Amino acid sequence: MKKIKILIPIYNDWESLVKLLDQINESLNEFNQIEVECIIINDASTRSAPILTKPSNIKLLKVMNMIENKGHARCNAFGIRYLILNEKFDYLILMDGDGEDRPVEIKSFLNEISTKPSNSIVAKRVKRSEGLFFKLLYQMHKIITYIFTGKKINFGNYSCLTKKDVERIFSKASLWSSYSGTVKKYIKNLNEINSTRGLRYFGPSKMSLFNLILHSFSIIAVFKYHVFFRSLIFLFVLDYLSNTIDVNLILIQILLIIFCIIIFAVSLREKDDELQKSQENLKSVNVITQ
């Protein structure tokens, strides 16, 4: 019987979590040969957690209460590291707790691993639910990422990793800053399922413009040496064009240098020491079996 852990970071959004667990439970109805446990990372919420009840198709709920709020990406990094060091499992599913990662697509993950059990799977976004402005920024992010890294990254946190692949990334410093960038860099064989980004169960999106830009730069920063190498080539080409066709391209060159400086600064968020000692931020663990 396959053992599957589902990792869900939460900050105050308990109402969404209750609905999410019900929908996860519903998605598991037709799968009998798996054992599912949900690991909820309570990122130092300021609102008290409700009394949670374990759904019938989930073996247990484990709520891990953090001392200090570290943010979504670092909750994932902590959870991944904790599971490798302390738990037994075959697959790990990461998903958001607000409904934007649709539980119905867990079926696609499970069907995929039944036919190709040795490969991890990412949820490729084929349709998004946000407004036009966000969609435009997302497309710009994908284009810039591809130009400077050579990598096509069209997925977020929603994914299903084999234990072998979790072992590949759990100690990488970049995991502390960007999950999807780390997965793309260190896991070579990735299958995909088509995924539609859902609507939040309750309230507006918590992703601000600043956080969206930081998220994009964090992914690119995982490949900072690719960025620096390609930027150097671009600078040489721009310099050659300036001298050959007598066009002033100094502004573009300056912007390119500023971009590299920003990427380097963002890459400093990749802190190996904080990842290694992340379990020191764990306050308590509540296990719910019924």
pTM for the whole structure: 0.92
If one counts every other C-beta atom within 10 angstroms of the C-beta of residue 23, the result is 17
Helix residue spans in 122-249 (DSSP H): 132-149, 163-169, 179-186, 209-221, 224-245
Backbone dihedral angles phi then psi of residue 2, each to the nearest 5 degrees: -75, 135
Fold category of 2-204+272-288 in CATH: Spore Coat Polysaccharide Biosynthesis Protein SpsA; Chain A (3.90.550)
In order along its 290 residues, the chain shows pLDDT tens digits of 899 999 999 999 999 999 999 999 999 998 988 999 999 999 999 998 888 999 999 999 999 999 999 999 999 999 999 999 999 999 999 999 998 999 999 999 999 998 989 999 999 987 655 667 777 887 888 899 999 999 999 899 999 999 999 999 999 999 999 999 999 999 998 999 999 888 888 876 666 677 788 889 999 999 999 999 999 999 999 999 888 887 788 999 999 999 999 999 999 999 999 999 999 999 999 999 88
Going from N- to C-terminal start, the domains of the chain cover 2-204+272-288, 224-265
